[in-house]
Amino acid sequence: IGNKLLVQDITETDFKAKSRDLDFGLKTNYIFNENHSIGARYEYYRLPYSKADLLFPSKFTIDGEYLQESLSDVITREPRYRHNFNTYNSGKIANWQIDLNLDGVWFDHKQRGETSELISLPEQASRTDYIKTYTHNNSRLYAAKLVLEHPLFGGKVCLGTEYDDTRRTSVSENPKATDGDTKVDERIWAGFLEYKRMFFGKLSLNAGLRYENVQ
């Protein structure tokens, strides 16, 4: 009864890792004139193969007295991919400045783990524990923003809208713990109005209103 100090002593580790990845990107812009341009960007990242092997011996003591020794071998595999996309349009129509941005992100990550642990106890036969774990994370995001700006009463009035759509799922399997499944589904729409003006070149005025709807 009472507090006891448990110490895990790892004297050395052996870590090996190997992976292959692919990174690709493309970007383009087109300028119609000094007041109008459009562009797009796409990036792709792929990790089809990734393997890591971690081997480490441990010695456990409790209040300085020998408890047990173990030899752990942890192997993980983590293939993943990611897509990023963005496009924009910036231009003028009459006295209206119009800016539009669209974004998209897709991500997928899988992780498989295998752990084998050889445990040696005093005056007892050694035993081996074997654990398999699995985690899968998947997410995607869409976002859009439109802003309109126009001169008004010596200043500028700005109105616009934003939209975000996020979906994310996570699955976890571990025989030594409670499995976990998580799902996030979120949509946010916002509208805003702002007026800004400078007075005497030193005093600035900003007034605005923003509305958000979150589901």
- Whole-Å CA distances, 195 to 144, 153, 203, 209: 22, 10, 14, 9
Q: What are the pLDDT digits (tens) for 23-61?
A: 999 999 999 988 899 999 999 999 888 899 988 888 888
Query: What pLDDT score does 49 carry?
Result: 86
- Is the Cβ–Cβ distance between 156 and 149 less than 8 Å? yes
Work out the pLDDT band at 179, boundaries 50, 70, 90: low
Provide the phi-psi class of 201: left if phi over 0, else alpha when psi is between -120 and 50, else beta.
Answer: left
pTM, full prediction: 0.72
Work out the pLDDT band at 2, boundaries 50, 70, 90: low
Torsion of CA 195, 199, 202, 208, to 10 degrees: -20
Residues 6+ apart with CB under 8 A from 1: none
